[in-house]
Amino acid sequence: MPRPDLLQRLDVQTAEREHARLHRRLRTIEHADGPWLESGSRRLLSFCSNDYLGLAQHPTLVAALTRAAGEQGVGSTSAHLICGHRAVHAQLEEALAAWTGRERALLFSTGYMANLGVLQALLARGDVCVQDKLDHACLLDGARLSGAELKRYPHADVAAAARQLAAHPEAAALLATDGVFSMDGDIAPLRALAQLCARERATLMVDDAHGLGVLGDDGAGSLSAAKLGQHEVPLLMGTLGKALGCSGAFVAGPAALIEGLIQFARPYIYTTAIPPALAAAALESVRLAQTETWRRDKLAALVARFRAGAAQLGLPLMDSASAIQPLLLRSADAALAAAQALEHRGLLVVAIRPPTVPVGQARLRITLSAAHEEAHVDALLDALADLAQGSRVAGHV
């Protein structure tokens, strides 16, 4: 029997996905102006960005990046442990640790790499990693790469998580969860999970990519909102590319954790550090996220306005108090048709389909930003009302 050709096999799999109308396609953005994007000569009002605080184009960030690039160049030129760790990296780590109430923080190039690094450094064969079924893919991949046994509990089901931990009483255990779930927009039962981990002597890790900057009085994220500190949650991962409008990620926690990651986290050790200019911009963003509290207030008001309008229209909106407002349409074809109809109206909303979400759980993932205005939210609601009247949104609206 001849050896299979890997590229041919991949081509067949891609063709199968396209036949199922689940093929992913790149969209090129030529220009961005706040929530407005230009793509293919069209100006679209975006409701799919993760720029929750509207900081990505803030002039202070742009100035900090430009100034640092002029002083230090574009790239860091090396991994942190060689000669890539600049003074501004250290300053950013100190600022992130102070903001999140942790002893130390460590920068990573991406959130995906941060989660891979933490799980690979902490877990080993014979350990158990318990995770919510809706955790981000990088948490799942990190557990699998570590060699630990991965156990997944039904979404937000603390009792099920308890049973899985109890079934492995002698194994070293890590429970990992998203703080805010990226596709559903809801918040994990963090306090109950922290209490569970304390009882079971398990380590709790929270990926707060979509909570940092948005939740908590000081914007420090879902753990701040839940009044949980380093003792209850030793492992916090946050990203710089969503509410903070930059790029990169960090892990924050006890000094012993950070020192251990420096020694053993391969995605940290063997990767070029983020550009110092980008770290300078992120440092300004951390400051703005804490001081310009009106951004969180405005975002919360826009979320409330959208949810009230959606309720009046009877739209199948999922239960979420975050900036992520999913409109559950179930059918992949229905979600795609709705997204296309909205784009025809000048509104960019992405249809999320399998395999990103389970079959029968396709949706429009609507995200709001402090860069939006009330008129923008009303325009989206008007368009959704027209779609509902035409029975193009799930057929139930």
**Could you give phi then psi for residue 6, rounded to 5 degrees?**
-65, -40
- Helix, coil or strand: residue 126: coil
With contact defined as beta carbons under 8 Å apart, do 176 and 143 qualify?
yes
Q: Is 151 a catalytic residue?
A: no
Active-site choice (182, 285, 320, 369):
182
Residue 270 token pair: 């063997």
Token look-up 């959704």 returns 384
Residue 182 designated active-site:
yes
Residues forming a β-bridge with 177: 206
Question: Which of 258, 212, 2 lies closest to 107 in space, CA to CA?
Answer: 258
User: How far apart are the C-alpha atoms of 109 and 276, rounded to whole Å?
Assistant: 12
Rounded to whole angstroms, how far apart are CA atoms 365 and 356?
A: 12
Residues 6+ apart with CB under 8 A from 358: none
Of the candidates 85, 151, 242, 372, the residue annotated as catalytic is 242
Nearest to 161 by CA among 121, 183, 186, 134: 134
CB 120 within 8 A of CB 266: yes
Cβ pair 352, 364 in contact under 8 A? yes
Residues within the annotated binding site for substrate? 24, 136, 356
Known catalytic residue at 242 = yes
Question: Catalytic: which of 58, 210, 298, 376?
Answer: 210
Which residue pairs from 300-306 have beta carbons closer than 8 angstroms and sit at least 24 positions apart in sequence?
302/368, 302/369, 302/370, 302/372, 302/374, 302/377, 303/368, 305/374, 305/377, 305/378, 306/366, 306/368, 306/377, 306/380, 306/381
The annotated binding site is made up of 24, 111-112, 136, 182, 210, 239, 356
Residue 239: partners with Cβ closer than 8 Å, 6 or more residues away: 110, 111, 114, 209, 212, 248, 249
Residues serving a catalytic function are 182, 210, 242
